Every structure is written in C-alpha cells, then in structure tokens.
Amino acid sequence: MSPKPISVQLYSLREESKVDFPAVLKRLAQIGYKGVEPAGFYGLTAGEVRKMVTDLGMTISSSHTPWAKSDNLQECIDTAGELGVDMVCTGFWKDQFASVAAIKQTAEMVNGMIAGLKQGGLKLFMHNHWMEFEVVEGRIAYDWLAELCPELLFEIDTYWASNFGANDPAEQVAKFKSRAPLLHIKDGPLTKDEPMVAVGKGKMNFPKVIAAADPQVLKWLVVELDRCGTDMFQAVEDSYRYLTSSGLAAGNT
C-alpha cells in the first residue's frame, strides 16, 4: 500500500487551541501534517478555519464538528459545505451499545441520519470508543451495528478497537475495511484509564494495523491522543515522525 496522507485530530490539542488556535495550526503545518480533523472552531467560522488551514498548505481531512445527531442534519450539511468535506461524523456512548435491543434503536437512528444527509449529498461515518468493540450477546457490538446499517462508513479508532488487548486491532480493521475511509492512529499501554503515548512508543503494531486496511478505500490516517503523559505537542510531532519515517504515512516534509 502506498503511504496514505497523515492528518491529526485537533481534540488532541484542545487545551493549546483554547489559547491560540491559529498558532496550533501553524505549528502543525511546520511539522508537516497534510491535514487536520477539527473538533471545534474556537470562535471562527467553518469557512475561516478552512481558509486558514488551506493557506498553511494543509487540508481539512474530515471533521468532528458538528457532531451529527438526528436534529442537526441541516447544520451538518451546511458546515460540511463550508469545510469542503463529503462526510459527516457521529458517535455514541455506552448506553447505545449496552444490548442488542439498544443497538437496534441506535441503528434505526443512524439509518435515519444517513437518509437525511444523503439529501445533501453527504455520507455518514462513525467514530468508536472501546465499548463498541466489547462482546454484546455473543458478537462484538460493531458487528451488530454494521449489519443493521449497511450504508454507514467507519472511522476505526484502532486503539479503542483493541479493547485494551482483548481484540487484534488489525483483524478489526480488516473486518470493516470496505467501509473504513479513515483510521484513527493512537498508541498506548493498552491499559484502561492509562494515558496514551506518541505513536510508535506504545504496544500497537501499526505496520500490521495499517496493512489491514483496503488501499482503495482508506483515504487518511488521523493521529489522535485523547490524553498523554508527556507534552502533547511533542507527542503529536513524534507521532508524525514515526509514521512518516517508517513509510506508514505521507506528510509534507
């Protein structure tokens, strides 16, 4: 597989962005990131963020703002147009995956959202946490959901997909590869409630994980560290260096 372009989920740098969002974007461009995945606009409009990102030589790879729900689809359509993306993100929490009955209710909601977004020419993708990769009534929860929502795309968070070592994340990526245009790349000790580390410094086997994706479907590798025991910006830069120097991702430097 030719290396896919590298982006970063800006939730990783939320504290820094609260202080000086333009400076965060500028430093990411200097590191060499090809794209960013916003999680909030910090007082700017979506159009202003897009222009700022573009002027720095980067691209909006995808966005978590606004988080799609049943009652904000027009806002999602409008914002996606300003950002220049063709997919909208959603996700849920523990209650929505607690049982097969709950998953069926979640799927009904998701399918309604897919139909609404389709009117605006957009697709829906879902970002996961660990609970979607726990076993629910004999099957991994995401298996139930994927079956019930055949048009749903996935941004597989590869670290959470491991469910702290209970699953092989490469196997999970392979399972959903025909519907996974985005992979979240994060690393850590695979221990619940322990902070993440720079990509390449934890227990994840990223050559194997990334190779499991479909090169015809996968568009971006998106670095994300929810929290980190070291300086976050340094970890974001170290993650970039590891992925690009290993030939696993393509950057601008």
Mean pLDDT in consecutive groups of 10 residues from the start of the chain, 253 residues: 95 97 98 98 97 98 96 97 97 94 97 96 96 95 97 98 95 97 97 94 98 98 94 97 98 93
The residue extents of the domains of the chain are 4-250
Q: Is-contact 27 244, C-beta < 8 A?
A: no
Give the pLDDT score at 1: 76
How far is Cα 175 from Cα 178, in angstroms, rounded to an integer?
8
Q: Which amino acid is at 11?
A: Y
- The share of the chain scoring above pLDDT 90, in percent, equals 98
Give the pLDDT score at 49: 98
- Give pLDDT tens digits for 64-100: 999 999 999 999 999 999 999 999 999 999 999 999 9
Q: Which residues make Cβ contacts (< 8 Å) with residue 195, sequence separation at least 6? A: 188, 227, 228, 229
Give the pLDDT score at 229: 87
Give the pLDDT score at 227: 93
How far is Cα 8 from Cα 222, in angstroms, rounded to an integer?
5
Q: Which residues make Cβ contacts (< 8 Å) with residue 42, sequence separation at least 6? A: 17, 18, 21
Report the DSSP beta bridge partners of residue 220: 182
Q: Which residues make Cβ contacts (< 8 Å) with residue 76, sequence separation at least 6? A: 66, 68, 88, 117, 120, 122
Q: Does this model's pTM top 0.75?
A: yes
Q: Is-contact 184 154, C-beta < 8 A?
A: no
Q: Is 4-250 a domain of CATH 1.20.210.10?
A: no
